[in-house]
Amino acid sequence: MSEEFARLRDEIANLDRGLLELMERRFELAAEVGRIKAERGQPVVVREVEQRVLSRARERATACGVTPDVMESIFSAIIRGSVERQHRVGVNLRASGGRQLLVIGGAGAMGSWMIRFLEGIGHRVEAVDTAWSALPPREGRYASLAEVPDPERFDGILVAVSLDASATVLDRLADLAIRTPVIEIASIKSQLEGSLARLRAAGTPVVSLHPMFGPGKNPYEPLTFVHAVLEDEAEEKRRILEIFRHPYLDLVSLPFERHDRLMGWVLGLAHLCGMLFAGALTRSKLAPEELGRVASTTFARQVDTSRSVLGEDPALYFAIQRLNPHRGEVYAALTAAIGELTGAVESEDREMFTALLERAAGSLPPSGAGLP
């Protein structure tokens, strides 16, 4: 290694240390801002301020010799870190106004995420899960709903069990006829319609919510929740925001009966395409290593998508397909789309192929759709 090269590396290392010290100071200032915001009840995220920071970063890209996207990605990460620091420092102050909540299904992946999330925004959380039946007793953790002392003392009960168990749990809560609001977070709703009606008839306030992410989600990124409206949209939203208020919450309300049709496409089709891609590759008889060595950008992206789908719980993904009453519509559309495209190729009809792609492009949501 030449002396010049070594000198440059040492200089870069010194600059990195300086940057880390600046970052530490920046996050300290963010924490102080978070404390003030929490005391005043002000929101953590202010989109206008974030956009000004990102605009300044993009404007300096040329001077730094990199693309605007690189500068934006760097400062987006810094903003996320600042939001996290602001939010964390205000948790203790917000906890004084936090709620007492019960999570049913607390040992499951999504139930565990919900417990961490809810505690992180200042709530006090207890939980129920049959998986704890063989474990020593622990304060605030119960193996069954029957063990929970006075369920009416909670400000809300969150049901985060498997799709197949959701109706049974909701029916049990309906039998108790409690007045504590119940929030269920199932991915498919149609099979719960009767149980939700029983709860409302018993006088239990109920909200139907669907987090559009899995248990690996970073809580300091946009969190989209779909609110399937049962009766009174305004009242249900008020109950949701009382519990789930968060700087990155993106709440989308829609009619209950519309939820599963949308999920047939947003979840069912997306999952299915990932499964089919990998399933087709198994029939190629080609070694995965060889495919990886020659992979195009598009192929690599699709592999990542398929791997994320195949890495999830097969029982959950089977239930999402099986329980959705609109799956036949999705399957028929997928079959027809494959037939049209392959038919245009086999008949050497370039104009038809182009027309099909143009029509398909028009059906895609805008880039970045779903982000607040």
Q: 3-91: what CATH class?
A: mainly alpha
- What architecture is domain 98-256? 3-Layer(aba) Sandwich (3.40)
How far, in Å, CA of 166 to CA of 188, rounded?
A: 10
How would you write the pLDDT of the chain (372 residues) with one tens digit per residue? 688 888 888 889 989 999 999 988 998 888 888 888 777 767 777 778 888 999 999 999 899 999 999 999 999 999 888 888 887 776 655 555 679 999 999 999 999 999 999 998 889 999 999 999 988 989 999 999 999 999 999 999 999 999 999 999 999 999 999 999 999 999 999 999 999 999 999 999 999 999 999 999 988 888 999 999 999 999 999 999 999 988 788 999 999 999 999 999 999 999 999 999 999 999 999 999 999 999 999 999 999 999 999 999 999 999 999 999 999 999 999 999 999 999 999 999 999 999 999 999 999 998 765 544
Residue 72 identity: E
The answer to whether domain 260-361 has CATH 1.10.3660 is yes
Please give the order of strands across the beta sheet that includes 206-211: 141-142, 124-128, 100-104, 156-159, 182-184, 206-211, 223-229, 249-255
Domain ranges of the chain: 3-91, 98-256, 260-361
How far, in Å, CA of 257 to CA of 109, rounded?
A: 27
How far, in Å, CA of 338 to CA of 360, rounded?
A: 12
Give the closest residue to 324 by CA, choosing from 273, 272, 263, 252: 263
